[in-house]
Amino acid sequence: MKKQNPLQVISLFFDRHKNAVIHLTALFFLVAGLGYSFYLGNEIRFPDEKQYFKIAQNLAAGNGFSINGIDPTAIFPPVYPLILALFIKLGTPIFMLRYINFIALASSVYIIRSILNKEKAQSGAALSAALLAGYGVLFYTAGTLYTQTLYTLILLCIVRLVIVRNFDYPKAILLGLLSALIIMIHPTGVFIPPLVVVWLFFPRNYHIILKGTVAALIAVTCISIWSYRNYKTFDRFIPITSHGGDTLYIGNNPDTSLSSWYNYIYEDYYIEASKLPESEQNRYYLRKTMEFWSNHTGDAVKLYFVKLLDYFNFRNHLFATSEFSRVCEIIMFVTYYPLLICLVLRLFFAVKIPLSRTESLFVSIYLVSALFHSLFLPRIRFRLPYDVVLITHIGIMLSLAKHRLTSTTTRP
């Protein structure tokens, strides 16, 4: 009997147990997520979580989109606080609000299965599910009141929508709605819709021009409702959020560095900006960023490439030091870099084995996310949805490797 290599053993295992692995992974997120949420209790640990929760509380109490219950804010897009507010209105405790993220994570497992079934990579779907369960930072982040887990689910839904053979007008309408949704969950999703439409267009799919225009009009219309609220409230055009300019300048100023992102709270410009109304702070930071780019162009370009490299780091220097531990670093190192190595190897062999159409979408999303986020401030938390895209892509890679092995062993 011929001895099987490790890749064949892995492929055979996931082939035989694909449904069990997928269901057990979803069950793991649902059961362990409930236990973890209960363990964390009703304490809110991090600054952004507290702001999301306060806004949701005020929405539920009828005090409007506000942090303090008096002054309106546009610091975050509305979708996530509105979802939290709905459950708070129903009397949901904080630990169950966390559990919403674990439900989204379990749902992502089945969306990934649907994507990979479409690619005839059923065993790859089981591998991706197993990798999701083993990627501890996903589980950790789901236990917070952050937007990344819900964002991940919507991103996967967009991928599933566009990989169909016949992208018709109903799907274009749905793409517009999902595009608005992902942007209004977190504004860093703004690059996803145009990237997806460009991918749909190539090669020479001219019918996508009209359908992409329909999707864009629907997305802009949905976002305009929130923008109009901001204009009426602040008498100033704030399309998505009043927060973002500060993050841009933190990552683009003469004194910044990878080891001191958050020293800005002690800088004169931050103290000066904090005295301004919320509606004017973004403009202030954007002006300061443009000054840095124009007066220190060489330094800005160098800093951008330093941040681009840091995007693929296994650790960040964080403002909330309680998010940092040596154990977390080790876990992140041993779980993230194998994923990245798989991507590098796939690109290395792309000349010999061209990327499939869906693979090209996955790779484009991951690489463009790096280029986009490096304009601002690289954060592992913001990278997580794209790590899930990478994990999904590895499922396709297993299917390709299995096919190559099978064709090699059966060749006369």
**pLDDT per position as a tens digit, 126-140:** 999 999 999 999 999
Residue 272 CA to residue 276 CA, distance in Å, equals 7
pLDDT over 90 at 168, yes or no: yes
pLDDT in tens, 29-40: 999 999 999 999
Short-list 25, 38, 162, CA closest to 105: 25
**Domains of the chain by residue range:** 157-240, 243-307
Q: What pLDDT shows up at residue 250?
A: 84
- Bridge partners, 66 (sequence order): 72
Task: Report the b/e string of 347-369 with b at 16+ CB within 10 A.
Answer: eeeeeeeebeebbebbbbbbebb
Mean of per-residue pLDDT scores for the chain: 90
Cα of 276 vs its chain's centroid, Å: 31
Say if residue 317's pLDDT is above 80: no
How many other β-carbons are positioned within 10 Å of the β-carbon of residue 389? 22
The average pLDDT across 286-308 equals 93
- Report whether pLDDT(277) > 50: yes
Euclidean distance between CA atoms 57 and 69, whole angstroms: 9
- For the segment 80-104, the average pLDDT, to the nearest whole number, is 97
Please report the DSSP string for 329-373 in residue order. Answer: HHHHHHHHHHHHHHHHHHHHTTTTSPPPHHHHHHHHHHHHHHHHH
Average pLDDT over residues 357-372: 97
Q: Is a pLDDT exceeding 80 seen at residue 163?
A: yes
Structure tokens at 114: 């649907």
List beta partners, residue 72.
66
203 secondary structure, DSSP code: T
Torsion angles phi and psi, residue 315, rounded to 5: -145, 160
Q: How confident is the model at residue 412 (pLDDT cuts 50, 70, 90)?
A: very low
Tell me, what's the pLDDT at 320?
A: 54
Q: Confidence class of residue 282 from pLDDT cuts 50, 70 and 90?
A: confident
**Any idea what the Cα angle at residue 258 is, between residues 256 and 263, rounded to 5°?**
50
Q: Can you give the pLDDT at residue 244?
A: 85
